[in-house]
Amino acid sequence: MDNKVKTGQLAKAETAVAAAPKKQIRERNIFRLRGMPDIPLLVIILIFIGFGTAMVYSASYPWAEHDYGNSYYYVRRQLIFVALGAVAMFLASSVDYKVYMKWGSPVFFAFSFLLLASVPVIGKSVNGAKRWIDVGIFSFQPTDIMKLALVMMLAWYISKYVDAYRDLDDRTITLKNKSYFKRSLRDRFPVFVREVAVPFMIVGVVCVVTLIERHLSGTIILFLIGWIVMLWGRISLPWLLGILGAGGAGAAFVAIFTDYTSERLDTWLNPYNDPLGSGWQVIQGFNAIGSGGLFGVGFTNSTLKHLYLPEPQNDFIFAIVCEEFGFIGAVGLLVLFGLFVWRGFVIASKAPDCFSRLLAAGITCKVGVQALLNIFVVTGLFPPTGISMPFISYGGTALIILLVECGILLSISKFTRGKETGK
């Protein structure tokens, strides 16, 4: 009798596994509680916007006067980007995040991938690398769009095809009286394909296409974003560690054995070998950081931005922050990024379902990882490459997309999960 009952339960569990994509088994007793957006996060974002705009003006006006005869050239454009981004953030925060899951994720990812793949064909070269698409009135890097698209796609896939299966997998294994480690190859292989192979393939294809554009920094950021989303999605840690090791080995191979990246490595390790050439920007960045001391020379009083440090409003704007606000100001900026990441993780931990949790965590980690890598570049802990500082560096589409991401994060923060009672 017991064997018949067990056989019947096993058959029902296996039937439920086949139907899992249509039913969120893990969260069937969860409902969403709607409230106000996360006010601390909103305040942090507004501080970032205000400080970033002020720093773009301070860092850019000497070069703007030199190149365009108008010291307000960059900051005026930045204010336009801020206005457009603020509207986009408000709209994104007003949309229920379920809409992004139902309609946006696969379609948005496909659109972003087509843009990314078209760069080698229709893109324009800047400083020897073809990463931009010029549409006449503005140019943009598809990698900036792909960072959000990759997070959304992985969150959608893991919530739909990984998380929904987990209880059913565990239930089936329990009924078969088998632990995870005693699972047969027949049981283990589909789980491996679903939980590891497919998400890694999504990340891998994106990274390969980005690498073709000679955009190593973008490749590294996309890889780390994908890895962190899979980590939050509770993909098997041994496999994730193996993927991280393989990705690191691949990045090291590319860096050592390609001319473009090997030159960057040489500049990073020996900037004073060519102090007036490839090492100039790195050295001037060091000088700016060292000039700031403990409290800095004061807002707008930087010396190195006066035609010494090239394009100080872009990737090396952190050096100007250090010069004008000193060690105290640099630490304050790091604390602000830390607070942003903290609030993002709080929102992710309280999110009502798997998709919103992974989307919030992915957006948060994208901002944190990019800020950290930018600081590493400016301080000489990472090879010099094109990594902007979120909220602070001058930028158009990158800033607008960042504020859209913040809007999505604010949208998710309006919801938390609750348990149904009486059932």
How remote is the C-alpha of 229 from its chain's centroid? 10
* Confidence band, pLDDT 50/70/90 cuts, at residue 176: very low
Nearest one of 70, 69, 141, 202 to 370, comparing CA atoms: 141
* Confidence band, pLDDT 50/70/90 cuts, at residue 405: very high
Note whether 375 and 397 are same-domain residues: yes
Indicate the length of the chain as a whole number: 423
* Confidence band, pLDDT 50/70/90 cuts, at residue 381: confident
Cβ pair 312, 60 in contact under 8 A: yes
User: What does the pLDDT read at residue 324?
Assistant: 93
User: What does the pLDDT read at residue 30?
Assistant: 52
Query: Residue 180 pLDDT more than 60?
Result: no
User: What does the pLDDT read at residue 174?
Assistant: 43
Note whether 411 and 265 are same-domain residues: yes
Span 354-360, mean pLDDT? 92
Note whether 250 and 111 are same-domain residues: yes
Query: Residue 214 pLDDT more than 90?
Result: no
Question: What percent of the chain is predicted at pLDDT more than 90?
Answer: 38
User: What does the pLDDT read at residue 22?
Assistant: 39
For the chain, what is the domain count? 2
Query: Residue 380 pLDDT more than 70?
Result: yes
Note whether 346 and 227 are same-domain residues: no
CA distance 267 to 272: 8
Span 77-95, mean pLDDT? 94
Residue where one domain finishes, among candidates 193, 225, 257: 257
Span 42-47, mean pLDDT? 96
Query: Residue 172 pLDDT more than 90?
Result: no
Note whether 283 and 404 are same-domain residues: yes
The lowest-confidence range among 209-218, 286-295, 359-368 is 209-218
User: What does the pLDDT read at residue 129?
Assistant: 64
User: What does the pLDDT read at residue 162?
Assistant: 78
Note whether 56 and 88 are same-domain residues: yes
Residue-range definition of the domain harbouring residue 240: 107-257
Nearest one of 149, 154, 125, 131 to 211, comparing CA atoms: 131
**R_g of the chain computed on alpha carbons:** 24
Query: Residue 181 pLDDT more than 50?
Result: no
Query: Residue 153 pLDDT more than 70?
Result: yes
Q: Is residue 403 part of a domain?
A: yes
Note whether 282 and 157 are same-domain residues: no
Other CB atoms within 10 Å distance of the CB of residue 174:
13
Nearest one of 403, 75, 405, 396 to 225, comparing CA atoms: 405
